[in-house]
Amino acid sequence: MIDTPPPDDDSLTREGYAVPRAAESILLIACGALAREILDLKHRNGWDHIALTCLPAILHVHPEKITQAVEDAVAKHRESYDQIYIVYADCGTGGLLEAACKRLGVEMVKGPHCYSFFEGNQAFAAHGDDEITAFYLTDFLARQFDAFVWKPLGLDRHPELREMYFGHYTKLVYQAQTNDPELTRRARDCAERMGLDFERRQTGYGDLETTLADWAARRPTGHTG
């Protein structure tokens, strides 16, 4: 059960999210696609010293904008918190986000993308070339498939382009963070629309959970700035 329900998925996609501040000393600057998972972990573990602000998830459609958005968020908040952590992986920035985080003195989640850290970076890497033709969905993307995939690619207007975009894929892997039959149905429907085989993989929160637990356990040593 989430203590402070996030806004609907469309708002997380376009606008992001922020938990009203109380007495937190740690701030997580995260992707809006991770808000529900982070709030669930915050509630279950009693991390009352952690605040959360989320950038719009739709930035992933233009990953070249992610690094600057994170830098701006750090500059905006760094004087107000003892520690700031970045809940993004590389996410298509080509190493630019990691370089920016090192320059700013803030840590980020390890991994190439959320598909990797949800499954566990080590486990994901072990698939190697076996899954080079796999298309991945998370819980959030199962709910927001049209906003992130179908419409940006123009398939709502030109369904005949499906083969051009997805012809080199063989299966859709739904990485389930929760056990929700409705999300499984949606993910299976996405696979059918793409003309791909379907596989459901229960990942839970993977390395996201262990990373946040590590950060939550650290004692602040002074402002990030």
Summarised one tens digit per residue, pLDDT across range 66-89 is 999 999 999 999 888 989 999 999
Is the distance from CB of 113 to CB of 89 less than 8 angstroms?
yes
Q: Where in the chain is the domain with CATH 3.40.50?
A: 9-114+206-217
Q: Is the pLDDT of residue 219 over 80?
A: no
Q: How far is residue 195's CA from residue 85's CA, in Å, rounded to a whole number?
A: 39
User: What is the model's pLDDT at position 19?
Assistant: 60
Structure confidence by residue, pLDDT tens digits, 174-201: 999 999 999 999 999 999 999 999 999 9
User: What is the model's pLDDT at position 223?
Assistant: 45
Confidence band for 224, pLDDT divided at 50, 70 and 90:
very low
What would the CATH number be for the domain defined by 9-114+206-217?
A: 3.40.50
Structure confidence by residue, pLDDT tens digits, 126-162: 998 889 999 999 999 999 999 999 998 999 999 999 9
Average pLDDT score, the chain: 90
Query: SS3 letters for the chain?
Result: CCCCCCCCHHHHHHCCEECCCCCCCEEEEEEHHHHHHHHHHHHHHCCCCEEEEEECHHHHHCHHHHHHHHHHHHHHHHHHCCEEEEECCCCCCCCHHHHHHHHHCCEECCCCCHHHHHHCHHHHHHCHHHHCCEEEECHHHHHCHHHHHHCCCCCCCCHHHHHHHHCCCCEEEEEECCCCHHHHHHHHHHHHHHCCEEEEEECCCHHHHHHHHHHHHCCCCCCCC
Q: Is the pLDDT of residue 15 over 80?
A: no
Confidence band for 100, pLDDT divided at 50, 70 and 90:
very high
